[in-house]
Amino acid sequence: MNNQLVSICVPTYNGAKFLQESLDSVNAQSYKNIEVIISDDNSADETLEICTKFKESTLFPVHIYNHQPQGIGANWNHCIEKANGIYIKFLFQDDILYDTCIEEMMEIYKEYPEIGLVACKRDFIVDVNMKSEQTEIWIEKYNDLQIDYELFNDSIYYLTHAVFGERSFLDSHRNKIGEPSCVMFRKEITKSIGLFDVRLKQILDYEYWYRILKNKPVIVINKPLVAFRIHENQATNVNSKAEINDYNMYHKILHKEYYHFLHDSLKESLDDEFSKSNELKKYVLKKYKSLKSKIKKWLR
């Protein structure tokens, strides 16, 4: 079996409430050639104490880095930059890896070495404060991210850049692959496609998965190997209460970087969106120049 080093990357920030359970799931992994990279955004709770005790109790390497916050994407990137492994496996501070998660993902890489990323299904852990009809509706809607795709065989989905050419590509749900705790990829791919886009706050994960998919196939294992926790302080819920400009920026990225992959209807939609935007910019610029000219005349 492929026994290359896997870096489990855990970006943290005030995550003490669920962190110990997440780290315990690392200890339980059946795949043993691992290291843990903890990148902490200057937590003010007991996060670092929990991480230090974890480091002292493990037989595998644990590296803890504490720094001033520079944004969610910067923290994810910091994990990758500090990783020594051949593979990057994210685990968020409130999620859980099932015991065979890394082992089964490594088996996929052994059988399909051409892929750029492997992901898996996930179960949900709903915090007591989030138990509601609204949460149940959300889970029902987002439970199966690959619902539009056919299985390659009984155990996997095999996705290619043909995904971008489907009319439904921009339909909800837009993340067709999974949350960061669901994925693993080779570190070397960052040399060709770069790191996470730090301008993004809400969708930087699947924007990155699609960058990988643009270059290499992606496999999604048709079983849950992680548990994704839903709670009131997770980044998705915090971001939903703030003004996030991600989708406008994302459309610009698609128009510039993915245009020839897209379905004709999506090309037309993006063309229309940006032609109107350009017309508005021209109008504003024209008005600005006119006003500037009038001010110069008044000042003479």
Confidence band for 228, pLDDT divided at 50, 70 and 90: very high
Alpha-helical regions (H) of 181-224: 190-193, 204-215
Distance CA 295, CA 300 (A): 9
Alpha-helical regions (H) of 159-258: 190-193, 204-215, 235-240, 246-257
First to last CA, the chain: 81
Distance CA 94, CA 179 (A): 12
85 touches 7 (CB < 8 A): yes
Distance CA 297, CA 141 (A): 60
In tens, the pLDDT along 32-58 reads 999 999 999 999 999 999 999 999 999
In tens, the pLDDT along 85-107 reads 999 999 999 999 999 999 999 99
> Can you give the pLDDT at residue 287?
60
> Can you give the pLDDT at residue 281?
56
> For the residues 150-155, what does the mean pLDDT come to?
94
In tens, the pLDDT along 237-247 reads 444 444 568 99
Other beta carbons less than 10 A from residue 79's beta carbon: 24
179 touches 279 (CB < 8 A): no
> Can you give the pLDDT at residue 233?
77
Asked if pLDDT for residue 5 goes beyond 50, the answer is: yes
> For the residues 228-242, what does the mean pLDDT come to?
65
52 touches 24 (CB < 8 A): no
Would you call 91 exposed, middle or buried from its count of C-beta atoms within 10 A (0-12, 13-18, 19+)? buried
69 touches 143 (CB < 8 A): no
Q: What is the pTM of this model?
A: 0.88
In tens, the pLDDT along 104-139 reads 999 999 999 999 999 999 999 999 888 899 999 999
